[in-house]
């Protein structure tokens, strides 16, 4: 793992002399190798049932260092997954730097989970502010901080929230209506919109296996629950299940609230819009560190969306973005590799020591050492950290369209007029869907282990050359090509049906000859991907059938990356229409609600992807030029 300084324009907003000083400071602090964390002190453990404004009490465990040097800030994690009963968790590697710096650690069960009172509501929407005793996760965070300040000795009057995934979403909620003592928040892998891009849907396409298994885990009891599959390969289990109406009819019986919500709200209606965070992120109230993983299999969209939504309101420069080569929460584990992809060093430890710890120390304890100007991301391909004064760094890139061409080629030159009617086609059959990873596909939370955690870095050759997957690729690159920022696919396509899903994957194809790692020869590493449900082409709120045989443009946001395609590698694009059981099967016949579709609605369809001068399908890449 190497470290790179920003490009020459990364500090263009400041004078050259000042820029040089800033660069030196960044290099001295961020780019020094992490030092081993000192052993932390022991802890005094106390427990409390903290009352909220409506009288409900929340189970809270407080770990105060036994040998604190002066008053300390609170570092709070609110969670639906259960709180630790002893300080053993804090002795682990992920907490080493924070423990060494010194905090009063607080863990709390949210409403209706484990030992807390009340009723659990998945992604509880914001309260009605007209009701004085109304509650939401923001008020529970506020009331928790107020109680801690009044009842726990030895604090310095400041508090911070942090957490990964649902815990990260709870941290983000705390900054919407913050207590005055809240001085730092780090929402890590926080979902932002459960319909547009996070756990349960992507662009309206339902994330079947995750949505079903997570809802069952969270809402079957107050504690976590693993659904018992009677087949090891869940691909076959979900296929045997048939249309989604069978879930309540044969399995859940209407007992899981989230599943009932999925069925009742197939479109982007007020139910989902009220949960989505964007409309509530209208001001930057406290310093915030947003953390994303390039291969996060659950919430890659969320941290990017939260950061981008806050940026126009960040007049004081208090909102920061970090992205590294991790899966969901991978920065809390060993970060030297993911699956078969190696990163040249422990990127997770680097993040915890050089980014997370200095962030909280700066804003909760006024310590020097926080020098990130705006964003720091890990450039995959070269295994190098990059620091930017904006994310994405538009001053350093130019958009270049990589066009789908004849004979399976990708090229930066658009199609010629001689290929006016050009297209490639395949038959998509919902009875024989493309698996999203090689079978067998274990349950998402299989205690015996599951490929779910690393599927995004899996070799895509299992799908390449299938008759229902199209592929285009460049010649071997004559020089490195770096992509930094948002990637957009513009797909011109038609279907013989009246609805369709379009899955687009951007892939780095390794050379066949890899002397350092021969087993990586020809590896197809997915860099970006997304699904788009065709019925929502014009509106997420009001879906429409597709016109059979009519060419339509589908804009598929592949989100962001910071990746260098190395000399000798190829760039590949794959397009398909099923991704099962990650995504539910589109019947390919338009019905008002796919959750209520009948078996007779599922029909094969002929899909055409156009690559002509009139319909130039392409992937638009933000290519680094400076």
Express each pLDDT in 476-494 by its tens digit. 999 999 999 999 999 999 9
Give the phi and the psi of residue 335 in degrees, each rounded to 5.
Answer: -115, 25
Express each pLDDT in 85-100 by its tens digit. 999 999 999 999 999 9
Query: Span 52-79, mean pLDDT?
Result: 95
> Domains (ranges, CATH) in the chain?
33-188+277-335+344-379 (3.40.50.1820), 201-274 (1.10.3020.10), 395-624 (2.60.120.260)
Residue matched to tokens 């000083």: 21
Q: Which of 489, 492, 498, 510 is nearest to 568 (CA)?
A: 510
pLDDT band at 23 (very low <50, low <70, confident <90, very high): very low
pLDDT band at 495 (very low <50, low <70, confident <90, very high): very high
| pLDDT for position 69 | 82
CA distances for 384 relative to 23, 566, 612, angstroms: 16, 13, 38
Query: Span 421-438, mean pLDDT?
Result: 97
Q: pTM value?
A: 0.93
Q: How many CB atoms lie within 10 A of CB 222?
A: 16
pLDDT at 22 over 70: no
Q: How many CA atoms lie within 13 A of 242 on its CB side?
A: 12
pLDDT at 15 over 80: no
Name the residue with higher pLDDT: 27 or 296.
Answer: 296
For residues 587 and 580, the answer to whether their CB atoms sit within 8 Å is no
Give the phi and the psi of residue 8 in degrees, each rounded to 5.
Answer: -65, -20
Express each pLDDT in 290-346 by its tens digit. 999 999 999 999 999 999 999 999 999 999 999 999 999 999 999 999 999 999 999
Query: Span 556-569, mean pLDDT?
Result: 98
How far apart CA 4 and CA 379 sit, in angstroms, is 9
How far apart CA 117 and CA 54 sit, in angstroms, is 11
| pLDDT for position 129 | 86
SS3 (DSSP) at 541:
coil
| pLDDT for position 4 | 52
| pLDDT for position 1 | 55
Q: What percent of the chain has pLDDT over 90?
A: 89
For residues 206 and 212, the answer to whether their CB atoms sit within 8 Å is no
Express each pLDDT in 385-394 by its tens digit. 999 999 999 9
Q: Which of 164, 31, 43, 41 is nearest to 94 (CA)?
A: 164
| pLDDT for position 12 | 33
pLDDT at 3 over 70: no
pLDDT at 378 over 90: yes
| pLDDT for position 225 | 86
Give the phi and the psi of residue 574 in degrees, each rounded to 5.
Answer: -115, 145
pLDDT at 21 over 80: no
Express each pLDDT in 138-185 by its tens digit. 999 999 999 999 999 999 999 999 999 999 999 999 999 999 999 999
């Amino acid at each position: 793992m190497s470290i790179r300084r920003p490009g020459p324009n990364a500090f263009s907003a400041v004078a050259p002399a000042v820029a040089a000083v800033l660069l030196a400071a960044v290099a001295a602090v961020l780019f020094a190798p992490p030092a081993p964390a000192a052993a932390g002190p022991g802890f005094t453990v106390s427990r409390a049932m903290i009352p909220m404004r409506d009288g409900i009490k929340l189970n809270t465990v407080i770990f105060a260092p036994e040998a604190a040097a002066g008053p300390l800030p609170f570092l709070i994690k609110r969670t639906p997954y259960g709180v630790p009963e002893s300080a053993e968790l804090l002795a682990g590697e992920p907490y080493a730097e924070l423990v060494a710096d010194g905090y009063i650690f607080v863990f709390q069960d949210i409403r209706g989970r484990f030992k807390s009172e009340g009723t659990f509501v998945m992604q509880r929407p914001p309260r009605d502010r007209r009701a004085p005793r109304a509650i939401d996760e923001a008020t529970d965070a506020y009331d928790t901080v107020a109680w801690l300040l009044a009842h726990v000795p030895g604090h310095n009057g400041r508090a911070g929230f942090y957490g990964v995934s649902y815990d990260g979403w709870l941290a983000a909620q705390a900054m919407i209506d913050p207590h005055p003592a809240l001085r730092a928040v780090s929402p890590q892998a926080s979902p932002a919109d459960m319909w547009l891009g996070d756990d349960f849907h992507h662009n309206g396409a339902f994330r079947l296996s995750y949505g079903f298994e997570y809802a069952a885990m969270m809402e079957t009891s107050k504690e976590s629950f693993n659904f018992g599959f009677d087949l090891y390969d869940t691909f076959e289990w979900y296929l045997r299940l048939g249309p989604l109406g069978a879930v309540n009819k044969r399995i859940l019986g209407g007992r899981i609230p989230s599943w009932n919500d999925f069925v009742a709200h197939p479109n982007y209606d007020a139910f989902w819009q009220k949960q989505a965070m964007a409309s509530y992120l209208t001001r930057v109230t406290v310093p915030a560190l947003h953390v994303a993983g390039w291969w996060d299999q659950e919430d890659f969209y969320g941290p990017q969306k939260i950061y981008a939504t806050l940026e126009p309101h960040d007049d004081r420069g208090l909102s920061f973005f970090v992205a590294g080569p991790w899966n969901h929460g991978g920065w809390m584990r060993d970060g030297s590799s993911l699956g078969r992809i190696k990163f040249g060093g422990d990127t997770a430890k680097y993040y915890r020591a050089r980014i997370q710890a200095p962030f909280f120390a700066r804003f909760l304890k006024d310590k020097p050492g926080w020098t990130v100007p705006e964003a720091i991301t890990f450039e995959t391909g070269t295994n190098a950290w990059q620091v930017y004064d904006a994310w994405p760094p538009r001053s350093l890139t130019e958009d270049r369209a990589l066009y789908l061409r004849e004979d399976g080629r990708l090229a930066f030159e658009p199609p010629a007029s001689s290929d006016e009617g050009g297209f490639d086609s395949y038959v998509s059959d919902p009875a024989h869907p493309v698996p999203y990873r090689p079978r067998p596909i274990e349950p998402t939370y299989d205690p015996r282990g599951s490929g779910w955690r690393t599927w995004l870095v899996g070799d895509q050759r299992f799908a390449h050359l299938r008759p229902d997957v199209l592929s285009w690729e460049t010649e071997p690159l004559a020089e490195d090509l770096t992509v930094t920022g948002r990637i957009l696919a513009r797909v011109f396509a038609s279907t013989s049906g009246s609805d369709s899903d379009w899955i687009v994957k951007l892939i780095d194809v390794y050379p066949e000859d890899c002397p350092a790692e021969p087993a990586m020869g020809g590896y197809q590493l997915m860099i970006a991907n997304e699904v788009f449900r065709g019925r929502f082409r014009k509106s997420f709120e009001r879906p429409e059938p597709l016109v059979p045989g009519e060419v339509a443009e589908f804009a598929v946001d592949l989100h962001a990356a910071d990746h260098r395609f190395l000399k000798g590698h190829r760039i590949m694009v794959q397009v398909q229409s099923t991704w099962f059981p990650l995504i539910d099967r589109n019947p390919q016949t338009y019905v008002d609600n796919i959750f209520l579709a009948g078996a007779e609605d599922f029909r094969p369809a002929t899909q055409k992807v156009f690559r002509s001068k009139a319909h130039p399908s392409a992937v638009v890449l933000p290519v680094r030029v400076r």
